[in-house]
């Protein structure tokens, strides 16, 4: 089972600059593991050492966030597209009046 994986700009350098790559697997976890085997630079960027999804990464199967499905056990088929996107967050600090006393 070969699935298309869409990479965010920050990870493309690890895959020779490619936006889209293909990887084998029947679940999201298998696809991401075979992707990391093909492109060692991606290892640890999406899946943690303990086999869980990295906190600051969102993974989709088509339009659906895998965290709201079966996470890395979410099944995929040939026609699916897996998208990896970094979490984008931040914010100000020291907002007046909000510091602890």
Contact segment (CB under 8 A) with other proteins among 22-30, 33-41, 69-77, 84-92 equals 84-92
List the one residue out of 65, 14, 3 whose CA is nearest residue 57: 65
Applying CB under 8 A, which of residues 60, 72, 76, 80 lies at the interface with other proteins?
A: 60
Q: How far apart are CA 70 and CA 20, in angstroms?
A: 23
Residue 86 binds other proteins, judged by CB under 8 A: yes
Residue 95 binds other proteins, judged by CB under 8 A: yes
> How far, rounded to the nearest angstrom, does the alpha carbon of residue 83 sit from its chain's CA centroid?
7
Supply φ then ψ for residue 36, to 5 degrees. Answer: -70, -30
Residue 8 binds other proteins, judged by CB under 8 A: yes
Residue 19 binds other proteins, judged by CB under 8 A: yes
Helix, coil or strand: residue 47: strand
Site residues for other proteins per CB under 8 A:
6, 8-10, 19, 56, 58, 60, 63, 65, 83, 85-96, 98
């Amino acid at each position: 089972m070969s699935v298309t994986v869409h990479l965010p700009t920050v990870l493309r350098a690890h895959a020779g600059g490619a936006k889209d790559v293909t990887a084998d697997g029947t679940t999201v976890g298998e696809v991401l593991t075979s992707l990391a085997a093909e492109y060692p630079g991606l290892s640890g960027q999406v899946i943690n050492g303990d086999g869980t999804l990295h906190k600051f990464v969102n993974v989709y199967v088509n339009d659906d966030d895998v965290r709201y499905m079966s996470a890395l056990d979410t099944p995929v088929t040939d026609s699916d597209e897996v998208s990896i996107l970094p979490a984008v967050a931040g914010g100000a600090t020291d907002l007046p009046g909000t510091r602890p006393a």
